[in-house]
Amino acid sequence: MSHLSSMRTCLSNLTLLEHSLTVLGINWYRENYSHVVIPQDNGHDFGFFWNGKEFEFIGDEKLWIQVWSIGTFIEKIQYQYIYKSLDVDLKLRGLYDVKIDPKEITQELDKIVVETWNYNSTTV
């Protein structure tokens, strides 16, 4: 007997979600705006469904046949999502040469300090 379960996420941007799945090498396709499908060889697909606020991960845990556990999978997706989100946000603020150290992005992360330097200043 199949039992679908739902796992809430902090993922709310479809483009960043798709980027995260692609970076991790996960096979996926978009069924429509509110549904990103992760097909499996056993025919029991999983997916991210839009609930009006965020994407929820939905599927039957007993039928999950991926390399990582579901928990590890969600952690990896969220990590890539945060990393790309920071990159996009900093570029929107005009900070193109910022290097984000991936080791600094953890679940306990409260803030990242970004410093900018004015290399064109001259002293008289």
Q: What is the DSSP string of the chain?
A: ----EEE--S---HHHHHHHHHHTT---EEEETTEEEE--TTS--EEEEE-SSSEEEEE-GGG--SSS-HHHHHHHHHHHHHHHHHHHHHHHTT--S----GGG--TT----------TT----
pLDDT tens digits, 5-29: 777 888 999 999 999 999 999 999 9
Residues 62-116 have pLDDT tens digits of 888 888 888 889 888 988 898 888 888 888 888 776 666 655 555 555 566 666 6
Q: Which domains are present in the chain?
A: 5-104 (3.30.310)
